[in-house]
Structure 1
Amino acid sequence: MLVMYAQPDEEEVEQENTFEVTEAIPDVELFGYRTTTCSIHVLSGAWIAYSHVDFSGDQYILEKGFYSNSADWGSSDNHICSVQPILQAPSENQGSVRSVVMLYTEPYFQGECHVCDKNQESLSDKLIAKSCRVVGGSWVVYEGREFSGNLYILSEGDYPNFTSMGCPPNCVILSLKTVPLVFSVPSVSLFGLECLEGREITVDTEVVNMLEEGYNNHLLSVRVNRGCWVMCEHSNYRGRQFLLEPIEITNWPKFSQIFTIGSMYPVRQRRHFFRIKSKERGHFLSIQGGVEEIKSGRVVVTEQVEGMSDIWFYQEGLIKNKLAPAMSLQVMGNVEAGAKVVLWSETRQPVQTWSAQMRGTICSLTFPGMVLDIKGGKQYDRDHVVILPESEERPCQQWELELL
């Protein structure tokens, strides 16, 4: 709620013209209020005021409080013609991030709109998509039903026509699905012979043109070590595309029906904040002891969480906490079974990197074979997070990432 106080006319000095607002108003004059405002009192919520009708023109953000004149809300004059509250976007699944793609039947986002928020094995014959908007996650669209035929990978963004999507002009999209979310440092190995033999080249970043960057584009086998990769037939990400999760392909020409890889790139996701929950205990990974005055923080799994100490994000292999973005998860002391994990300054060498999926183990990339675990037992430090060799017999090595 906010109250707007109009600038009175000279002959109406004694009369106070106020306008109490509780919803979006596209034109204040339709409600008998003048467009000249001398002051505003925001009683609750946050609002946007506009200099023109229909929520257009200059914008002024109004938080709770009293604005005695136009200078207080950042304007050189007192004209306000429309206002609307800032509302939190609704979410069907609280605590999860929705992957959404919007398909339009005409180019440049015209025609009918079909919203997809889950995998579609078979789209309706009446839906002939010619443009789309990807507003969450990355998606794969297929020319065949049940995720078959030629495919095209679309990251978040607007695609006004088939050219921007990388599709041929006569393309018909018949199925689509989301690209799985993986937190890992990308890595792929290319081999000159079949069965992962011959000269090996390992790449961890995009290659726009294999030949120009000194690689042999005639490859006979491929191993995706980490992350999701897109292999393209020609340079500059043209031609047929293949989306590969961690896999060993012993005969690339037989697998793909093409004999070269012209370019490739790892699918990169935007930054996500998440909580890390122990599947065994149901409690969350968090920091104890504060991180502002010391160089490290204890990392535990506990029911008692302090502030935002259980909110994490992934950045280039590092697992970081929102409270201390300059620090990351590292192993304290000698790296051995049972060593404690702490939040530590990144000045320590080697900087330790990790790999995690939405469900399963959180693996150390710096120390292969080691995963995050919980110490357990009856000692005072039973809730501390440690590293141990991966073992199916330890359910406390299983974690779930809950996106925020």
Structure 2
Amino acid sequence: MAITLDVTYAPHNVKVKSNFSVFVKEGRVILSCRAEANPRPHQYSWWKDGQLQAESGSQFLILTSTFSGNETYKCAATNSLGSSMPEKFVFSLIPQKCTGLSGTSSVGGSISLTISSFLVNGNAGVKKYKVLYRLFGSLGVWSAVVELTSPTITITDLIPFTTYEIKIAAGNEYGYGPNSSTIKVQTTEAEPGPPQNVSAVPLSSHSVSVSWSQPITPHGIIAVYKIYYRAASKAKQEAADNEVVVAVSGSETTLSLTNLSPFTVYIIKVTAANVRQNDGKFLDGIASNEISVQTAEAAPSVPVNLISIRLTSTSVTIKWTRPEFPNGIIRSYTVVYEKAAPENDPYKVITIEAKYLSVNLTDLEESVDYIVWICAITISPGLYESIAVSTASEMNEKRTCLGRRCSTLLR
């Protein structure tokens, strides 16, 4: 046989709950009080900051307009057997959701944010703002920036020409309110990084082809590439003064440099640009590493300073100096000579090694005028330079000056 006992006791284990753990909605909040008791409580007493507010049902209505920001509420339950100990509930008032968030980008990878309005929860003052941002579409962790003073906030050190998603929350000493709706802002363009894979190959003795690829960090849409080049053989200051700049469209990645000097080393670098300065000119980004390229050889200029030295009545020495513009590696010299008034006599040709700058012509005839031509040879022969040479008769060769009187010495 079952026996049912009805145990009666005063209220205890009181719990106070709110429809919000912290207040985030304008208008009102409802506190609910529950207790374990038998019989059920017939009255609930409500205190605010130690002052009795009501003796009513298990729910207590709070209007937000009366909040001071941080308040403590207590509830005690009563039945016919007694009352419980009061249970405390601390209620903190935080700002509501910010609205009207807008953002603009400034040069240098920064975004300025402005909050045009936000809803106020009673007396919940806004004392700080929390900005959350991340790369758009990244689904990564939100980075946070806390600004304590102003609803105008600047986020710095962002990646140029990149879209970010941003949201913001207003806060006070009790915490932050809900995040605003997310906005998207793109940072402005900035100076690009250095072009990559810069290379050059000679096309001829007067031209080279330069190629490159886009910077790893273009920081925008590349509008212009600038190719700087100078002859490496020039002195530093002279080279800087004579540096040539050629600009091409940002869609180009190759350029032929023409009108160059043969067999000359050129120093080349490339920059990219996408930001116009106040004067309308493009601001260069970081330059690539310098590279060097040498144009191909060409025919040299003529040998210079030709002179003849008579040795005997039938021989002379011809001397010269190297061409002013060798345009390559001189491999040899070609010497051609013939009578100035040739009849049927063929011209004669001698090849001289590059290390020598003279030649002895020993098979000439007496008292004859000759023309001697000399050219230098690199990958191809250059132009000839000529000199007139006259031999003397054997009799003239024996003329000498004795003191102040010249006499003819006979055999």
TM-score bucket of the superposed structures, by smaller chain: under 0.3
Q: Which has the higher strand share?
A: 2
What TM-score comes out, normalization by structure 2 length? Answer: 0.19
What TM-score comes out, normalization by structure 1 length? Answer: 0.19
- Structure number with larger C-alpha Rg: 2
